[in-house]
Structure 1
Amino acid sequence: MAAPVIRYERDGAVALAIFDRAERLNPLSVEFQQALRGVCAQVREDRSVRALLLTGEGRAFCVGADLSSLGQPAPGDTRSLGPRVAEQMHALSNRVILDLRELPVPVLSAVNGACAGAGVGIALAADVVLAAKSAYFYLPFLPKLGIVPDLGTTWFIERLAGRGRALGLSLLGDRLAAEQAVQWGVAWAAVDDVALRSEALALAHRLAKLPSHAAVEARRAYDAAAINTLPQQLAYEAERQRELLDKPSFIEGVQAFLAKREPRFD
């Protein structure tokens, strides 16, 4: 039996999805995407998982689409490449990103090396992005292939780095080094390569201690802020507090504050 393209491991309350095709720089094959969707389904169903860590083996996090097998037609399918790939994106690739964004637990990407093409969308779908100092983000879509960045990359980069920088990265195809990615707001921090896995696990365990609804509430709040006026967002915040202040997590937080101890959330 062939080794899995993604290894699923546990470290206490943290689940790890380790991209394990290092010899090929972890390409975004159909098998890879199906495996990552499987990881997301497993995390959703396992209430003992409180955070998910994504990382790669070897010199790359993920180098994007597997161009050698892109859009292979099924027997009898006479359509051109574009319609076939678009259908696959709707049915599989885009669902990978939505699965990650809809997980009930925080997601952390530990970018261990090259993060290119659609791999950038995978990395930035996480709530927190940690990068090794040797890592970089690379968008070859337009300057090398004449196609637009996909798997949510345009959505993430524009919001994180701003329109000017997003357009520059997309049109020029320059590599965005880890430390510059931190300066631009694309990544949370850059750490020494040898410390990436331990630093990522430490962050993931911090995320695992959050209230169970924290990741979902944070994503929804900032998604709303991106489209709301200030009065609308103020109203949104007040309405969320209407519900959240009555949850056990708030009561535990107040009791922990008064007792000068760390809160313990279910």
Structure 2
Amino acid sequence: MDAIERDWITLDVSDAVGTLTLSAPDQLNAIHKPMMDQLIRRLEDLHEDERVRAVIVTGSGRGFCAGAHVGEMAALEDKGSGIYKLLHDGWNRAVRLIRSMPKPVVSAVNGIAAGGGVGLALSADMVLAARSARFIQVFGPKLGVIPDVGNTWFLPQAMGRAKAMQLMLTGETLGAAQAENRGLIARCVEDNDLPREAFTLAHDLSRGPIEAFVEIRKAVDKGLTSNLEQALDHERDTNARLCAGPDFAEGTSAFVDKRKPDFTRSPIQDDRTER
């Protein structure tokens, strides 16, 4: 096992799974600019790291991520341009790096996820949460702004407009079991089981056809903003390309031979358009 400490962010790589941990427990992992800069560098590194075939994002201590560091925002001299830069160069960049990760990403929400921390968690392909975890939209009721970090897209897509508006306008706390029932997360697990469950899931995904998993992500996201005809065309074009690749050849060969396929020999392709 290989652990690397970089002040605010840690990365542990084990059995092709990279676990990225927000490591500021004394501030519930609220993210200020130095921490965000390190997070972005880590995510960029994970895009390129050939050892890693699946990623876990989690937090240390009692919180997953309490959003942006409010003290830092309050101290901004020009708040309008300052917040624009924090979002454009920081939070939005992090979300885009997660959503374009050329391997599956699992969020393991170990405690409070508030504000931008919710968007960060929901950026992953699958979200597991400890039973004691909580999700809170603080933007409107507490700060007088709209939800950002993708929350206005993630929540309505997952829960529907009515329930998303309820959370955003009231700022009510949503427990992990409720979040699972409303379709916001994949699964709620017991607190002590979260690290093991997240690792098992990520490790299982790391053994699979990584390129196909990434294309499933893209197809689902595209399907949320397209019609059936466009979805059918996208499926056709994507599978025509995937079926010419090594994973499909391995999968069909294994099926015929009645054995378990080995997808781990296929290289990971990083097709980011934004660097």
Letter matched to residue 229 of structure 1: N
Residue matched to 2:160? 162
* Cα distance, 1:3 vs structure 2: 6.1
Residue matched to 2:273? none
The answer to whether structure 1 residue 129 and structure 2 residue 127 are counterparts is yes
* Cα distance, 1:261 vs structure 2: 2.2
Residue matched to 1:76? none
- Label 1:17 to 1:113 Cα distance change in 2 as closer, same or farther (>3 A): same
* Cα distance, 1:72 vs structure 2: 4.2
The answer to whether structure 1 residue 8 and structure 2 residue 11 are counterparts is yes
Letter matched to residue 207 of structure 1: L
Residue matched to 2:57? 54
Give 1:26-175 correspondences, 5 Å limit: 26-70=29-73, 72-73=75-76, 80-175=78-173
The answer to whether structure 1 residue 261 and structure 2 residue 264 are counterparts is no
Question: Does structure 2 conserve the Cα–Cα contact (< 8 Å) formed by 1:34 and 1:92?
Answer: yes
SS in 1 for 2:210: coil
* Cα distance, 1:95 vs structure 2: 0.6
Question: Does structure 1 conserve the Cα–Cα contact (< 8 Å) formed by 2:254 and 2:260?
Answer: yes
For residues 86 and 68 of structure 2, the distance between their equivalents in structure 1, rounded to whole angstroms, comes to 12
For residues 62 and 212 of structure 2, the distance between their equivalents in structure 1, rounded to whole angstroms, comes to 33
SS in 2 for 1:31: helix
Percent identity for Structure 1 against Structure 2? 39
Structure 1 ranges of 4+ moved more than 4 A: none
For residues 228 and 179 of structure 2, the distance between their equivalents in structure 1, rounded to whole angstroms, comes to 28
* Cα distance, 1:71 vs structure 2: 6.1
Calculate the TM-score normalised by the size of structure 1: 0.94
The answer to whether structure 1 residue 196 and structure 2 residue 199 are counterparts is no
Write out per-residue CA displacement over residues 44-65 of structure 1, whole angstroms, 9 at most, x where no aligned residue: 1111210110111111000011
Paired positions, count = 260
For residues 211 and 80 of structure 2, the distance between their equivalents in structure 1, rounded to whole angstroms, comes to 39
Calculate the TM-score normalised by the size of structure 2: 0.91
Which sections of structure 1, spanning at least 5 residues, go unmatched?
A: 74-78
Residue matched to 1:17? 20
For residues 148 and 81 of structure 1, the distance between their equivalents in structure 2, rounded to whole angstroms, comes to 15
Letter matched to residue 88 of structure 1: L
For residues 174 and 201 of structure 1, the distance between their equivalents in structure 2, rounded to whole angstroms, comes to 30
Letter matched to residue 96 of structure 1: A
For residues 227 and 192 of structure 1, the distance between their equivalents in structure 2, rounded to whole angstroms, comes to 35
RMSD, aligned α-carbons:
1.5
The answer to whether structure 1 residue 235 and structure 2 residue 238 are counterparts is no
Write out per-residue CA displacement over residues 56-114 of structure 1, whole angstroms, 9 at most, x where no aligned residue: 111100001111111645xxxxx631222112211222111111111101110000010
